[in-house]
Amino acid sequence: MLQLKNLRKSYHVGDTTTKALDDVSISFRNQEFVAILGPSGSGKTTMLNVIGGLDRYDSGDLIINGKSTKNFKETDWDAYRNNSVGFVFQNYNLISHLSIIANVELGMNLSGVPASERHQRAVDALTQVGLKDHISKNPNQLSGGQMQRVAIARALANDPDILLCDEPTGALDTETSEQIMKLIQNLSKDRLVVMVTHNPELAKEYATRIVNFQDGKILDDSNPFTPKDEKDTFNLKRTKMSYWNAIKLSFTNIMTKKGRTTLTAFASSIGIISIAIVLSLSNGFQKQIDTTMSKALAKYPVTISQTATDVNSISDRDDSEKNVKNRGYLTAKKDKLQQSAHKNKITQKYVDYVKKINPEYANNISYQVGVNLNLIGKENGKVKPVQFSPLPAGTAASQAYEQMQSQAASMSFMGSTVFPTSLDKKKGNFLKDNYQLLSGAWPSKPTDLVMVVDNKNSLNINILKNLGIKVKADEKLNFNKLIGKEFKVVDNNDYYQELPTGMFVPQKPDQAMYKNSKIKLRIVSVIRPKNKDSMALLSSGIAYSDRLAVKVIKQNQNSAIVKAQKKSDRNVMTGQNMNGNAKKLMMQSIGGSSLPAGIMIYPNDFDSKDKVLDYLDQWNKGKKKQDKIIYTDMSSAVTSMTGGLLSGITAVLIAFAAISLVTSMIMIGILTYTSVLERTKEIGILKALGARKKDITRVFDAETFILGIFSGVLGVVIAQLLIFPINSILYTMTDLANVAQLNPVHALILIVISTILTMLGGHLPARMAAKKDAAIALRSE
Ligand code: ADP
Ligand code: MG
C-alpha cells in the first residue's frame, strides 16, 4: 500500500549539499509495526516527513494505494495528511493555548466532521490512550507521557491508515516509554505504524520489522516486503477549515495574550477615536448651524426683483488672461456684476402665476409696488409734508432713498417696508408670527400702519422727525405719542399742479388738500421682532400692507400726471429724456402701473422653501434666457456657505486623524508578524494535520479580524465616553448643549474601516505564515 521507489532528497545550504535520502526503495504492508533505527542525521526524520507528505522528495516516486504521487498538487498532499496519516513527534507538538480535547479535535475540524461527532470521537480517542480522567486539562498541566498520549490520541482521532512516529519515547523515562510502546503496538494491529527510534531494545521488543538506516540509505531490512501490482484505489476527501473554526482557533490564541492584545487594540483605536470625535463634533455643529439657520432664515423671503444677479454667469475662468504680463496693452472689460445682472420682466402673467402658489408652502406674499405715497400730516393744526424715510427730509439722499425703496426688492438684505397679506387666514398671520405687539392693535384695514422698532426698542430719529414728531436724540418716547397718529395720501390731481408748459410740480400742502384726501392712514401699533436672533423681515420704521399700494394705484391710475407721462418720453416733472426702463420706473412711482417692482415670497418653513423654489423654477422651463425670471434666495446662500466651510474643516481634521489609522495598520502588521514567528510550530502542526495554505492564512486573518473589530469597538466606545466631557466643556464655553453627537452609522462605518485596515495590515504576514515549510516549522522549537 505504501511504496518508496528510488527516493532521493538533498538539502542545499550554501555550498554544501546534504543527501538526506539517497536512493531509498522500500515497501510497507498495510498492517505492520516497522521500527527504523539509525544514527542521528542519517535521514530518518526526512524519510518520515516525505512518507507523511510533510516534505517533498526530489526524485523517485512515492506510491500510495497504487497511485503515484509524482503529479500531486499541494491540496492532494493536504488531503492525504489529513485523511490517511497520523503524526506523533518526540516533542509532542501540542498547541498550548488549546485544551486537550481541542487539540485532539483539530484534525477533525479540518476534515469537516460535525461538532458533536468530533467531540465524541475525541473523547473516544483520549479514552483509548488512557486519558479519560484528564480531558478538561490543558497540555501544560500534563506530564510528558500524558502529553505524548494526547499527541497519539490526536493522530488516532481521524482513524488514519498510517501512523508515523518520530522518536515518540525520546523524551520519556524507561517506564513511560514502555507504556507508550505498548500503546503504539496495540494501535499497529489495525494499521501501518512506522516508528523512528534510537532504542534498539524497544524496537526489538515491540516492532514486527526493523529497518536500519545510514547516510540516507537502507542498510538492512529484517522483514522485507515485495508488493504485488496494486490497483489505484486512492481516494481522498479534501480538507477545509471553516472561517468559524479559524476564528475560534485565533480567539483562544488571543486570549493567551490579553494584555498585549488590549494594548495594541487601544493603540490602534486612537485613529478611530480621533475620527469619531471629529465626526461627532462636525455633526453636532452642523446640526446646530442648521437649526439656528433654519430658524432664523426659514422665513426670510425669496425675492424676485427687477434686476437680479445671475450667479451662473459669473465665472472667473478666462483663457485670454493667460500670459498677460508682457502684452503692453490693457483690455477694457465690462463690470462683472453688471455683466451678470439679469433684467427680470415681471409681467401680469407672472404675477398671476405667483399668486397661484400653494398656501401650504408660502402663505405670505408681498408685492412691492413702486408707487410714491403723496403723504401729508397735520402738526399743531398746520398741514405739512410727511415722509416714511429714515433720512433727513428734503436732502438728495432722502430722494435717492425713495427711489431705492421703490426698488426695495432689489436690495435683498434690506427688510421690506411692505408687509404681506396672508393668503389663508387659518395658516397664521405674517405679523403675528414674526412680531411682538408692544402697544396698540394689529392692523386690520389697508390703511392701518405699524411702527416697527428693532429688538432694542429703538428707532432712527429721522423717521420720527419726518413724520412730524418733535423729538430729541436719546429721548424716551411714549408709545401713545405714535399710536393713533394720522396721515393722508393725497390724490395725484390735488398733489401735482400742471404748468402751462405741460410740466408737473408738487404743490405746497394746505388745508384743502388735507380735507380733500380720501385715504386716511393711521398708526395702529408699535411692534418689534419676536425672536432676538431672527433677521428683520421688515425694516425699522413705518410698514404698511401691500393692499394700501393697490388702493393708491387705483386712485391715481387716471390722474392727469399719469396720462401725460404715458404719452411723453420725457419725464413730466424734470423734463429729462428717459429710456424705456426709466419711464417704467417713473410710471410706477406716480402710480401709473399696477405691476409690482418686486415680489417677496415668504415660505412657511424650511422644507416648503424647496417647494416654492421648485414652483418658481417651473416657470422658467423652456424659456429663453432673457425671459427667465431669476429669484434670490439669501438664506440658502448663507447656509451653504457655512456648510461648505464646516465640511472643509472636517475633511482636513479627518485627514490628520487618518494618519494615525495608517500607523496602527503598520503596527498590526508588525504584531501579526510576531504572532507568525511565535506560532511557527502551530503552523507546522496545522499543516501536519492537513491544513491547506489557505487555512493558515485564514487563521491569521481571523486573528487580525478579531483585533480589528476589537480596536474599532474600543475606539467607538472610548470616543463615546470622551464625548461627555467634551460636551460639558463646550456647554460652559458656548452655552450649546450636547453639541458632539456620534452618528451610529458613522460608528458602524468606523468599526468596519478599522477591521478592514487591520486585516490589510495583517494579511501580508499571514501570507508569509502560509508559505512556511511545514517540515522546517516542525523542526523549530
Ligand atoms: P535524522 O532524523 O536521521 O536524525 P534528519 O532526517 O533530520 O536525520 O536529517 C538528515 C540530514 O539532513 C542531516 O544531515 C540534516 O542536517 C539534514 N537536514 C535536515 N533538515 C534540513 C534542512 N531543513 N536544511 C538543511 N539540512 C537539513
Ligand atoms: Mg530525526
The mean pLDDT of 543-553, rounded to a whole number, is 88
**Which long-range contacts link 37-40 to residues 24+ away (Cβ below 8 Å)?**
37/197, 37/198, 37/200, 37/203, 37/210, 37/211, 37/212, 37/213, 38/196, 38/212, 38/213, 38/214, 38/219, 39/214, 40/198
Per-residue pLDDT at 399 exceeds 60: no
Contact 407, 597 (CB under 8 A): yes
State the ligand closest to the CA atom of 90: 2
| Cα 40 to ligand 2 centroid, rounded to whole Å | 7
Looking at residue 393, its pLDDT comes to 60
Q: Is 776 in the pocket of ligand 1 (CB under 6 A)?
A: yes
DSSP type of residue 141: G
Closest-lying ligand 1 atom to the alpha carbon of residue 46: 6
16 lines ligand 1 (CB under 6 A): no
Q: Are strands 364-368 and 375-379 parallel, antiparallel or unpaired?
A: unpaired
Q: What is the pLDDT of residues 42-57, one digit of tens each?
A: 999 999 999 999 999 9
Q: How far apart are CA 766 and CA 707, in angstroms?
A: 14
Mutation test of ligand 1: which of 45, 91, 680 has the most ligand atoms closer than 8 Å to its C-beta?
A: 45
- Run of H or E residues at 18: strand 16-28
Ligand with the closest atom to the CA of 49? 1
Ligand 1 neighbourhood includes 50 CB (under 6 angstroms) = no
Does the pLDDT of residue 200 top 80, yes or no? yes
Q: Phi and psi of 529, rounded to 5°?
A: -60, 140
Residue 27's pLDDT band (cuts 50, 70, 90): very high
Task: Identify which has the larger pLDDT, 357 or 422.
Answer: 357
Confidence bin at 638 (pLDDT 50/70/90): low
Q: In which element (H, E) is residue 724 found?
A: helix 693-734
Q: Count of alpha carbons within 13 Å of 270, Cβ hemisphere only?
A: 13
Mean pLDDT computed over 646-653: 81
DSSP for residue 481 = G
Q: Which of 267-276, 333-342, 464-473, 580-589 has the lowest mean pLDDT?
A: 333-342
68 alpha carbon – ligand 2 mean position (Å): 26
Q: Report whether residue 215 contacts ligand 1, using a CB cutoff of 6 Å.
A: no
**Residue 718: band (very low, low, confident or very high) from pLDDT cuts 50, 70, 90:** very high
- Spatial distance between the Cα atoms of 519 and 406, rounded to a whole number of angstroms: 20
**pLDDT tens, position by position, 86-133:** 999 999 999 888 899 999 998 888 877 888 999 999 999 999 899 988
- Is it the case that residue 410 has pLDDT exceeding 50? no
What is the identity of the amino acid at 541?
G
Most confident of 244-248, 284-288, 356-360, 518-522: 518-522
Strand partners, 27: 3
Q: Phi and psi of 671, rounded to 5°?
A: -60, -45
Amino acid at 739: V
Element containing residue 238 per DSSP (H, E)? none
* Distance between Cα 46 and ligand 1 center (Å): 6
Cell numbers representing residue 616 in the block: 418658481
Q: Per mean pLDDT, which range of 99-113, 160-174, 402-416 is the poorest?
A: 402-416
Query: Mean pLDDT over all residues of the chain?
Result: 85
Give the rounded distance of the alpha carbon of 175 from its chain centre. 67
Q: Is the CB of 39 under 6 A from ligand 1?
A: no
Which whole number is the average pLDDT over 302-330? 68
Q: Is the pLDDT of residue 223 over 80?
A: yes
Q: Check if 216 has its Cβ closer than 6 Å to any atom of ligand 1.
A: no
Cell numbers 431705492 correspond to 404
CA angle 494/498/504 to nearest 5° reads 95
Q: For a substitution probing ligand 1, which of 10, 11, 167, 778 has the most ligand atoms within 8 Å of its CB? A: 11
Could you give the CA distance from residue 73 to residue 767 in angstroms, rounded to a whole number? 19
Residue given cell 453627537 in the structure block: 741
Q: Which of 64-68, 577-581, 746-750 has the lowest mean pLDDT?
A: 577-581
Reply yes or no on whether the pLDDT at 499 is more than 80.
Answer: yes
Query: What does the pLDDT read at residue 322?
Result: 63
Q: What is the pLDDT of residue 637?
A: 63
- CB-based contacts of 486: which residues, under 8 Å, 6+ apart? 377, 378, 520, 521, 522, 523
The CA angle 756-760-761, to the nearest 5 degrees, is 120
Which among 43, 54, 154 is positioned nearest to 106, based on CA atoms? 154
More confident residue, 270 or 212: 212
9 within 8 A of 2, measured Cβ to Cβ? no
Query: What does the pLDDT average to over 394-409?
Result: 54
**608-623: average pLDDT:** 89
Mean pLDDT across 711-731? 92
CA angle 234, 236, 241 (to 5 degrees): 160
Give Cβ neighbours of residue 443 (< 8 Å, ≥ 6 apart): 431, 449, 450, 524, 525, 544, 545
Which of 18, 19, 48, 778 to mutate to test ligand 1, by most ligand atoms within 8 A of the CB atom? 18
41 alpha carbon – ligand 1 mean position (Å): 6
Amino acid letter, residue 323: N
Residue 576 is placed in which grid cell?
Answer: 429729462
Provide the pLDDT confidence category of residue 456 given band limits of 50, 70 and 90: confident
Cα 43 to middle of ligand 1, angstroms = 6
- Cβ atoms 59, 138 nearer than 8 A: no
H or E segment and range at residue 488: strand 486-489
Q: Where is average pLDDT lowest: 350-359, 454-463, 636-645, 727-736?
A: 636-645
C-alpha 94/C-alpha 101 separation (Å) is 11
What's the pLDDT band for 296 if we cut at 50, 70, 90? low
Cell of 215: 547516510
How far is it, in rounded angstroms, from Cα 476 to Cα 466? Answer: 17
The response to whether residue 40 sits with its C-beta less than 6 Å from ligand 1 reads yes
What pLDDT score does 394 carry? Answer: 58
pLDDT at 24 over 90: yes
User: What percent of the chain stands above pLDDT 70?
Assistant: 91
Q: Give the pLDDT band of residue 455 (cuts 50, 70, 90).
A: confident
Q: How far apart are CA 103 and CA 234, in angstroms?
A: 28
Q: Which domains does the chain have, with CATH numbers?
A: 2-239 (3.40.50.300), 254-294+641-779 (no CATH), 370-572 (no CATH)
Whether the CB of 772 sits within 6 Å of ligand 1:
no
Distance, CA of 746 to CA of 274 (rounded, Å): 13
Lowest mean pLDDT among 31-35, 407-411, 487-491, 692-696: 407-411
What lies within 8 Å, CB to CB, of 311 at 6+ separation is 340
